[in-house]
Amino acid sequence: MVSQVVAAATLVDAHALVKRFGGIHAVDDISLTIQPGELVGLIGPNGSGKTTLINLMSGALVPDGGTISVGGVVMNGKAAHVFAGHGVARTFQIPRLFRRMTVLENLLAPALTRKPAHGHGTIALRAAEVLTFLRLSHLAHGEARALSGGQQKLLELGRAMMLEPRVLLLDEPFAGVHPKLLGDLVERIAELSRRGYTIVLVDHNLDAVRGVVRRLVVMARGRQIADGVPDEVLRNPDVIDAYTGA
Ligand code: ADP
Ligand code: MG
């Protein structure tokens, strides 16, 4: 029997990316490709360059070297909203919500800034779906600032989902989340992955991501020190060193 190999088109292609802040090599020659449908964990001790890499992959920062391509299009120097237009959605380590707007308005706002592909009625419908998915429907008309830390993280995830992204970059979605809610959030992200979303999940905590991802990329001091299946990566002496040395 001949097995059929279907080459998936690479969704995100980061090649030899470099970002310096003064003398600090925050991202130092990182190459990374993300295929459609992947759920990749990006881990590393604090200060290892994870957020900087997410910023380079989403247009929040312009690389000093290397190339960043999305769906085969070189995006170097393009603004964040152009990355968003190409299907790159990201969340922030510290949620950036409209605190005095309602949960529902927070969901509608990013979608309404784009030309609606299927009309505004569809956006409202989508917002209702997203709220149901995140189990936040009962809070739709409450102010965002009244949400718990974990609920704010869910709402940020919902805002990114509203853009119907080709790839979701989640920067420390578990930070500041009450341990009781952590399992729910992990489960929601796993469900998004099962539904076909392409996700890069950033965390400094090995344990939070290892159970949910099939691929782990590890950074330390701006460099990529491992990329592979979680069990192998977590046995890698360089990874153990990076974590015990941190
Ligand atoms: P991580 O997200 O893995 O904790 P960061 O990407 O935030 O790491 O930071 C990587 C390194 O770059 C750190 O040394 C940090 O202090 C530095 N850094 C990040 N952003 C800036 C900035 N805007 N200005 C100066 N230094 C920065
Ligand atoms: Mg960070």
Residues 48-78: tens digit of each pLDDT: 999 999 999 999 999 999 999 999 999 999 9
pLDDT at 111 over 60: yes
Average pLDDT of the residues in 186-197:
94
Regarding the beta carbon of 95 and ligand 1, being less than 6 Å apart is answered: no
Secondary structure (H, E, C), 90-136: EECCCCCCCCCCEHHHHHHHHHHCCCCCCCHHHHHHHHHHHHHHHCC
* Predicted local confidence at residue 4, as pLDDT: 44
Give CA–CA dist 118/24, Å, rounded.
45
Regarding the beta carbon of 198 and ligand 1, being less than 6 Å apart is answered: no
Residues 6+ away with beta carbon under 8 Å from 110: 159, 162, 163
DSSP state, residue 59: T
Percent of the chain beyond pLDDT 90? Answer: 75
Rounded distance from Cα 29 to ligand 1 centre (Å): 15
* Site to substitute for ligand 1 among 24, 27, 43, 58, most atoms within 8 A of C-beta: 24
Where b means 16+ CB within 10 Å and e means fewer, 104-119 reads: bbbbbebbeeeeeeee
* pTM, two decimal places: 0.92
- The CATH code of the domain at 12-95+167-244 is 3.40.50.300
Order of strands, sheet of 24-34, starting from the edge strand that comes earlier in the sequence = 24-34, 12-21, 65-70, 73-74
Residues 13-42: tens digit of each pLDDT: 999 999 999 999 999 999 999 999 999 999
* Predicted local confidence at residue 243, as pLDDT: 86
Regarding the beta carbon of 217 and ligand 1, being less than 6 Å apart is answered: no
